[in-house]
């Protein structure tokens, strides 16, 4: 009944205010299509964020980054460690601890006057599960973050992929499933086909033992449609080069990889954290890297991984090879389309399928 009452309240507001104010806006603001009951939620978020930025008093802070290198033998090259200061005078530093150029310069001189060694090496095993398949909001956010697509542009491209394109002598073929969805589920047949392709391309050990079922639900989600996925997982992005335009191919590749990943094994990584300090122990630097023991779902992505810090032991003497000072101000970032989409997730505006119109007006970028 809560949803019914919410509908009745919105309908009443339309009768009392919306129907009367819309004609007024048409006369006073040419091009304004409505009073924007749906867009108001996003507009409020953007306005609140901009007000927060206007009232914000930025603080200057400095960072001191260093590069150390282990002593190299005649037959091997030393290991280079890029690090940042973590403790000073036995106190843990936060982002704003070094607040002036004078403090940064004094610390720089102190660093040059000290000898450093490895104080400790900590190794941690990390298992990272694959991401869930795309729904409308997560596709928009990833398209913005990874492809720099605006929300409206991302959905236009997705609509083209959904409506279909002529592939060689075939009729128009839809390349992805329905793009306006809040359900994470994938049909049993499609999931089996995905796992089969994973085994063919990467090996048996890369496919999940059983079909992964994603049960996380968005509050009030209807889940009338599957997650966004390719209509045929065997239609590889490489087979569409020269057929799809650049943006369509980028978005299809994003969806294809995410769909493959969701039915793959977790990745296993060893995180290596190195503490670097002076003999007195009152100045500690931190360096970290990761070693990928098993790629798992990350095999479908082409990300670069950090180098491996092997062969490091405590008391190993290090030589300072470089240092860098940098000045920043801690301004909060403005409300772009990706940020606003993320904020709208828990708000759950009454017309879920109008997310694009909601975003494109307050946040055209």
**CATH number of the domain encompassing residue 101:** 2.70.20.10
**Phi-psi region at 363: left, alpha or beta (left = phi > 0; alpha = psi -120 to 50):** beta
Does residue 51 sit in the same domain as residue 9?
no
The average pLDDT across 313-336 equals 62
With pLDDT > 90 as the criterion, what percentage of the chain qualifies? Answer: 29
Burial, 258: exposed, middle or buried (Cβ in 10 Å; 0-12, 13-18, 19+)?
buried
- pLDDT at residue 19 is higher than 80: no
DSSP 8-class letter at 103: H
- What pLDDT, in 10s, does the model give residues 84-127? 888 888 788 887 788 888 888 888 888 888 888 888 889 999 99
How many other CB atoms are there within 10 angstroms of residue 29's CB atom? Answer: 9
Does residue 163 sit in the same domain as residue 178?
yes
What's the number of domains the chain is made of? 4
- pLDDT at residue 361 is higher than 60: no
Calpha distance 172→177 (Å, rounded): 14
Query: What value does the mean pLDDT of the chain take?
Result: 79
Does residue 149 sit in the same domain as residue 249?
yes
Does residue 23 sit in the same domain as residue 123?
no
The CA-based dihedral angle spanning residues 328, 330, 334, 338, taken in that order and rounded to the nearest 10 degrees: 90
Does residue 169 sit in the same domain as residue 227?
yes
**Token pair for 216:** 């996380």
pLDDT at 305: 35
Smallest CA-to-CA distance from 46 within 358, 349, 354, 352 is with 358
First to last CA, the chain: 38
Calpha distance 355→349 (Å, rounded): 8
- Asked if residue 41 lies in contact with residue 65, where contact means CB atoms within 8 angstroms, the answer is no
- Asked if residue 83 lies in contact with residue 66, where contact means CB atoms within 8 angstroms, the answer is yes
Does residue 30 sit in the same domain as residue 9?
yes
Does residue 225 sit in the same domain as residue 179?
yes
Does residue 240 sit in the same domain as residue 319?
no
Calpha distance 342→151 (Å, rounded): 12
- pLDDT at residue 354 is higher than 70: no
pLDDT at 265: 96
- Confidence band for 306, pLDDT divided at 50, 70 and 90: very low
Calpha distance 273→306 (Å, rounded): 12
Active site residue 178: yes
Burial, 247: exposed, middle or buried (Cβ in 10 Å; 0-12, 13-18, 19+)?
middle
**Token pair for 323:** 């240092």
Smallest CA-to-CA distance from 141 within 53, 305, 258 is with 258
User: Which position has the higher pLDDT, 53 or 258?
Assistant: 258
Does residue 229 sit in the same domain as residue 186?
yes
188, containing H or E segment: helix 188-202
- Where would I find the beta strands (DSSP E) of the chain? 60-70, 80-88, 91-92, 116-128, 165-166, 172-173, 267-277, 283-294, 317-329
Catalytic option among 15, 134, 162, 178: 178
Whichever domain contains 155, its CATH number is 1.10.290.10
- Asked if residue 268 lies in contact with residue 293, where contact means CB atoms within 8 angstroms, the answer is yes
Does residue 294 sit in the same domain as residue 282?
yes
Does residue 174 sit in the same domain as residue 204?
yes
Does residue 353 sit in the same domain as residue 246?
no
Please, what is the Cα angle at 253 between 250 and 257, to 5 degrees? 145
- What pLDDT, in 10s, does the model give residues 167-221? 765 577 889 999 988 889 999 999 999 999 999 999 999 999 999 998 766 555 5
Domain encompassing residue 26? 1-37
- What pLDDT, in 10s, does the model give residues 175-190? 999 998 888 999 999 9
- Confidence band for 307, pLDDT divided at 50, 70 and 90: very low
């Amino acid at each position: 009944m809560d949803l019914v009452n919410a509908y009745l309240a919105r309908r009443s507001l339309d009768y009392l205010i919306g129907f009367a104010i819309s004609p007024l806006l048409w006369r006073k603001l040419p091009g304004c299509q409505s009073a924007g009951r749906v867009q108001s939620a996003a507009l409020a978020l953007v306005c609140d964020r901009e007000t927060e930025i206007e009232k914000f008093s930025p603080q200057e802070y400095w960072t001191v980054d260093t590069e150390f290198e282990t002593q190299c033998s005649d037959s091997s090259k030393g290991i280079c460690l890029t690090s940042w200061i973590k403790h000073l005078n036995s106190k843990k530093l936060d982002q704003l601890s070094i607040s002036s150029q004078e403090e940064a310069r004094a610390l720089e001189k102190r660093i040059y006057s000290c000898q450093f060694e490895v104080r400790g090496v900590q190794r941690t095993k990390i298992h990272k599960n694959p991401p869930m398949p795309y729904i409308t909001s997560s596709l928009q956010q990833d398209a913005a973050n990874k492809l720099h697509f605006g929300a409206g542009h991302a959905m236009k491209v997705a609509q083209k992929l959904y409506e279909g394109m002529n592939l060689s002598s075939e009729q128009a073929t839809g390349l992805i499933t329905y793009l306006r969805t809040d359900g994470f589920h994938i049909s049993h047949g499609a999931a089996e086909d995905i796992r089969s392709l994973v085994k063919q391309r990467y090996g048996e050990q890369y496919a999940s033992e059983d079909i992964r079922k994603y049960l996380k639900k968005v509050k009030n989600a209807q889940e009338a449609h599957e997650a966004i996925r390719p209509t045929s997982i065997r239609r590889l992005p490489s087979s569409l080069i020269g057929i799809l335009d650049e943006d369509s191919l980028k978005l299809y590749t994003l969806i294809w990889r995410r769909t493959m990943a969701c039915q793959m094994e977790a990745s296993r990584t060893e995180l290596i954290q190195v503490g670097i300090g002076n003999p007195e122990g009152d100045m500690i630097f931190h360096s970290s890297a990761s070693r990928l023991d098993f790629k798992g779902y990350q095999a479908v992505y082409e990300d670069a991984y950090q180098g491996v810090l092997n062969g490091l032991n405590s008391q190993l003497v290090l030589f300072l090879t470089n240092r860098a000072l940098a000045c920043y101000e801690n301004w909060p970032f403005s409300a772009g389309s990706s940020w606003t989409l993320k904020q709208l997730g828990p708000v759950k505006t009454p017309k879920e399928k109008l997310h694009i119109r909601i975003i494109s007006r307050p946040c055209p970028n």
